[in-house]
Structure 1
């Protein structure tokens, strides 16, 4: 089977630090190579793959701001579509724009919808409903206006995350520094529970950081910058819990699965996909507000960390994700 995996070109695939779509595109590509498929990854030129790499740029536009993002995206997507006939199937991890080529080529396109940036993009998905082969990354992140082939949870490389049975005594916030992700709420939870909090992630909203985060930094509340794979593994594993007090309906939540793979329970606001990712009182707690989160902190002693890892391995491994997608490829090609 000849597979083209289309990754975004904001960051390297796999990313050095931030880049969840790029990470999943990488895991899909590498998993398909292991299955014996002939895989071409369409990504930035500095990307890493055991398959073939095809690129139109040396670095992502978030890492080289001299590039125009929209121009780069158009060049990148058209590069693949002009070679569509070389492949049996195209796996689109690049949102809605590649769909506009899908009726102009004969190769079927399967699209993982990693989330909706706005309801305004739905009309493009609707236009290609009949041929889109859409996959959601959680049951919660589905539009009633679209037809779906399946839900496939994001899969992570389990071996990249070490199980830690005896953690250190700190809470962790791991994610973009942005209102949506609830960094300010995580600070309030730590303050009320009188626990140390480490904050790791890229600053996506400078004003939010200056107004809601920076004034509260001290010995107890520490911002340590973004964390690459090795540091991420250590931070997640040694935390007593990951705080995930999101202010939006998150489609998946990679850090939630990553934390549990390390054995670390998650305290999350009960929104979006969180009820699908977390087993209440077994792998973490689903809460509705800051006070409930503080109470959950005091109940962390009741969580068996081995249960967290076992659950995450069974649901969110790259092997399971790749198997699920490979079966979908065969289903599409068989039809």
Structure 2
């Protein structure tokens, strides 16, 4: 098949550090190339891919700090030109995989090529009208059953997959806990700090600061470089090292998370996850086997107990779960089958 993969341009594909949407687009594009498909990846110019690369944006706009912000660097202009580049070439594809969000839907009635849109989540109810407006012709993929909206029709649920081979299995971890993700109230960074304090274990915090006020008020006062350390965004090698060395990943989310790549990445290293029982977490974790699901209304006490029990879990089973359920090969095969069905139906 001739497939166009439309990635976000917030970050490089694959991302240098943070960038879950770009990581999924990269994993899909590389997997499809490996399976013999003719793939064009629409991403930033500094992206790394075995597919054909078509780029309008020189680099991810979220990674533009310190770079010139003059003509050609306006985010909306770049996004518009980026999407247009894919749809102006639509006749050359059998299918377009939209990994960009809702904006490309506005082009979908203007081309004859089917567009498969992966819904990476609803950041706001305000974007739902765009999805509703194209529900009659769209092919929507949810990334978890929990994230399906009742107003929309879905062709499939396809859980994200990761290259498990890029993560090192660690049978005997260190004695610290890990928070890995956006520093934001939704992700429960402050809750992780409190659980680590009550459990008497060091905490490493890794990720981008998305809410500066929250970081300054709820997280920064606890940073001492020893019991609570903040290491910022981490590239893949450091991410692998931190995940594998942790006693447990703390994922005490305060929202219904659509997926959670860091959760399955932790499992790939053998590290169990302590997560709030909401959103996609019951789909990703087996309570008492690959981690623990705690009461989201009052998670702290249960999370502390779960941290104490994490050492009794079989880390080899965590790794096996990642290999069997969350591999890149499984994800790519499911998309490939969906693309073939959509093309045949069209």
- Same fold by TM (over 0.5)? yes
Using the alignment, how far apart are the partners of 2:75 and 2:105 within structure 1? Answer: 18
Task: Answer yes or no: is the 8 Å Cα contact 2:41–2:54 preserved in 1.
Answer: yes
2:307 is the counterpart of 1:297: yes
Structure 1: which 5+ residue stretches go unaligned?
A: none
- For residues 155-176 of structure 1, what are the alpha-carbon distances to aligned partners after superposition, in whole Å with 9 as ceiling and x for unaligned? 1011110100000110000011
Give TM-score, length-normalised by structure 1: 0.99
Aligned to 1:137: 143
Describe the superposition over 1:141-167 as per-residue Cα deviations: whole angstroms up to 9, x where unpaired.
010000000000001011110100000
Question: Structure 1 stretches (4+) deviating beyond 4 angstroms?
Answer: none
1:251 lines up with 2:264 in the alignment? no
State yes or no: 1:197 paired with 2:207: no
Instruction: Give the length in aligned residue pairs.
Output: 335
Q: Once the 2 structures are TM-superposed, how far is the Cα of residue 28 of structure 1 from its aligned partner?
A: 0.4
1:85-234 alignment runs, 5 A limit: 85-218=91-224, 219-234=226-241
Deviations 1:230-274 (A, max 9, x none): 000000001010000001100000100000000000000111000
* Matches for 1:56-67 after TM superposition, within 5 Å: 56-64=56-64, 66=69, 67=73
* Of 294-303 and 258-267, the range deviating more from structure 2: 294-303
1:140 match: secondary structure:
helix
Q: Give unmatched runs, 5+ long, in structure 2.
A: none
Q: CA RMSD in A?
A: 0.7
Post-superposition offset of 1:301: 2.3
Secondary structure at the residue paired with 1:30? helix
Superposition pairs of residues 266-305 of structure 1, within 5 angstroms: 266-288=273-295, 289-305=299-315
What is the CA-CA distance between 1:64 and the residue it aligns to?
A: 1.9
Give the Cα separation in 2 of the matches to 1:200 and 1:304: 25
Aligned-partner SS, 1:134: strand
Distance 1:206 1:90 in 2: 37
Tell me what 1:264 maps to. 271
Please state whether the residue corresponding to 2:148 is helix, strand or coil. Answer: coil
Q: Quick check: 1:314 aligned with 2:324?
A: yes
> Under a length normalisation based on structure 2, what TM-score does the superposition of the two structures give?
0.96
Distance 1:254 1:139 in 2: 16
**Displacement of 1:334 after TM fit?**
1.1
